[in-house]
Amino acid sequence: MAILIKKAIIVNSKGMSKEPQDILIEKGVIAKIGKISDPDAKIIEANGKYLLPGLIDLHCHLREPGQEHKETIETGCRSAAKGGFTSVVCMPNTNPVIDNAKVVEGILKEVKRVGLVHVFPAGAITKGQKGEELSDMMELKEAGCLVLSDDGKSVQNSQLMRHALEYAKMAELLLMEHCEDATVSKGVINEGFYSTLLGLKGIPDIAETIIVARDIELARYLKTKIHFCHISSRRSIDLIRQAKAQGVQVTAEACPHYFSLTEAAVQDFDTNTKVNPPLRSKEDVEAIKLALKDGTLDCISTDHAPHASEEKELEFDAAPSGMIGFETALGLAVRELVEPKHITWSTLVEKMSMAPASILGLVNKGEIAEGKDADIVLVDPDKEWIFEKDHIVSKSKNSPFAGETLKGFIELTMCNGKVVYQA
């Protein structure tokens, strides 16, 4: 049955509709936009609320296979849908690692069974993410991977990374680098005033920038693309800005926690604030906001990283890094970026839908237009809401934002023309 969304303000990356529009959805596709009446269609009244193309997350952890106590594909997809995401890229640090076609096929089969949002598994760059031998990239491509990453660590060996970039270019796969020089990053929080004050081992920004700089040089030399995951520091942004100006094909993402929190948040030893890369200084936060505005950072990803409560209820040193992010991403982005008029709603759509779609090469996503996939999210832009721990649908609850007031309330998420979440 066709669905007709009545009177929605359409927000695309190029701009917003001046008047509320009606949107007819048929067979999973946006069939028509305008002033429409269709007596046979199921009506959804938007009442002037914002209709955005479904959000696309380039970086999340669904934990299945192997760590189903943290998250499953089903709970993860449900959480994504609640957060307005209709496509997500899940990282390969599962058990077994996503480094061969069998694992990819297993995930895609479960995604299909769950039938909520699109999931694009990232294959590992190296077998077992060990940083020793390249994965069978052509096989991963054939199985359905669009991107590769050894997320959780960088490919430390520069020669291996060079070959990975060369081979991935042939396989038409994008490499997404988690930038971290393991020899410099033996800590748990940002190195600086707070690591000194709290007596916790520091991770300096150079742990990130050394790999950013190396990879920019590799991409320049090899004339190929590279994508940087979850950029956290001002210096990395400077390097990326310069590389872009020189024509190096680099793209990069920010995560909501890196523009919503500073390192000061770790003061109370709440292990939900432990994340890798670590929360950084106020200057870094400002640089990230500016880089989102000026385009140095192309998109916003969540790095949704669920961990069970018993895993997080440990000493700060011993607790695993990461926080969940699907259900807070839009609310934080609106509160921190749109509400203070730092960026517009259209730019937000660019960062959370259009740019990730184009980075993945998904030509039918990222925009609300006739003929595009009916992956959409309906948002009440002005509604403030409290992010309650009890209402989290992810299997894990590890968020430092519990109890906070966020802005921009997701009323409905539709994927492939099917309602997958309704508030």
* Catalytic site positions: 303
d(CA 198, CA 416): 49
Work out whether 389 is an interface residue with other proteins (CB under 8 A). Answer: no
Q: Are 160 and 134 in contact (CB under 8 A)?
A: yes
Smallest distance from other proteins to CB 196, Å? 4
DSSP 8-class letter at 163: H
Work out whether 315 is an interface residue with other proteins (CB under 8 A). Answer: yes
Task: Using the rule CB under 8 A, give the single segment among 132-140, 195-203, 288-296, 340-348 that binds other proteins.
Answer: 195-203
How far is C-alpha 421 from the geometric centre of its chain's CA atoms? 19
Q: In this complex, which beta carbon is closest to other proteins, that of residue 126 or of residue 232?
A: 232
Work out whether 403 is an interface residue with other proteins (CB under 8 A). Answer: no
d(CA 231, CA 77): 24
Of 317, 370, 382, 388, which lies in the binding site for other proteins, with binding defined by CB under 8 A? 317
Q: In this complex, which beta carbon is closest to other proteins, that of residue 95 or of residue 196?
A: 196
Q: And the tokens for 229?
A: 């995951």
Q: In this complex, which beta carbon is closest to other proteins, that of residue 138 or of residue 184?
A: 184
Query: What is the pattern of x (binds other proteins, CB under 8 A) and - over residues 293-312?
Result: -----------------x--
Q: Are 36 and 24 in contact (CB under 8 A)?
A: yes
d(CA 110, CA 132): 30
Tell the burial category of 391 from Cβ atoms under 10 Å away from its Cβ (0-12, 13-18, 19+). Answer: exposed
Of 105, 170, 193, 422, which lies in the binding site for other proteins, with binding defined by CB under 8 A? 193
Work out whether 196 is an interface residue with other proteins (CB under 8 A). Answer: yes
Work out whether 192 is an interface residue with other proteins (CB under 8 A). Answer: yes
Smallest distance from other proteins to CB 287, Å? 18
Which alpha helices (DSSP H) does 246-328 contain, by range? 256-260, 282-294, 309-312
Of 83, 202, 256, 408, which lies in the binding site for other proteins, with binding defined by CB under 8 A? 202
Under rule CB under 8 A, how many of the chain's residues touch other proteins?
21
Q: And the tokens for 400?
A: 């430092």
Work out whether 221 is an interface residue with other proteins (CB under 8 A). Answer: no
Q: Are 423 and 409 in contact (CB under 8 A)?
A: yes
Smallest distance from other proteins to CB 316, Å? 5
Q: And the tokens for 407?
A: 């802005």
Smallest distance from other proteins to CB 393, Å? 24
Residue among 18, 15, 25, 16 at smallest CA distance from 6:
25
Residue whose structure tokens are 């990222």 = 366
d(CA 107, CA 61): 12
Q: Are 93 and 129 in contact (CB under 8 A)?
A: yes
Q: In this complex, which beta carbon is closest to other proteins, that of residue 30 or of residue 200?
A: 200
Q: In this complex, which beta carbon is closest to other proteins, that of residue 203 or of residue 406?
A: 203
Smallest distance from other proteins to CB 314, Å? 6
Q: In this complex, which beta carbon is closest to other proteins, that of residue 184 or of residue 393?
A: 184
Q: And the tokens for 15?
A: 């701009």
Work out whether 269 is an interface residue with other proteins (CB under 8 A). Answer: yes
Work out whether 197 is an interface residue with other proteins (CB under 8 A). Answer: yes
Distances (CA, A) of 108 to 113, 333, 422: 9, 30, 24
Of 79, 195, 262, 302, which lies in the binding site for other proteins, with binding defined by CB under 8 A? 195
d(CA 375, CA 364): 10
Of 316, 344, 387, 393, which lies in the binding site for other proteins, with binding defined by CB under 8 A? 316
Work out whether 390 is an interface residue with other proteins (CB under 8 A). Answer: no
Q: Are 188 and 274 in contact (CB under 8 A)?
A: yes
Q: In this complex, which beta carbon is closest to other proteins, that of residue 316 or of residue 387?
A: 316
Work out whether 268 is an interface residue with other proteins (CB under 8 A). Answer: yes
Chain residues binding other proteins by CB under 8 A are 191-193, 195-202, 204, 268-269, 310, 313-318
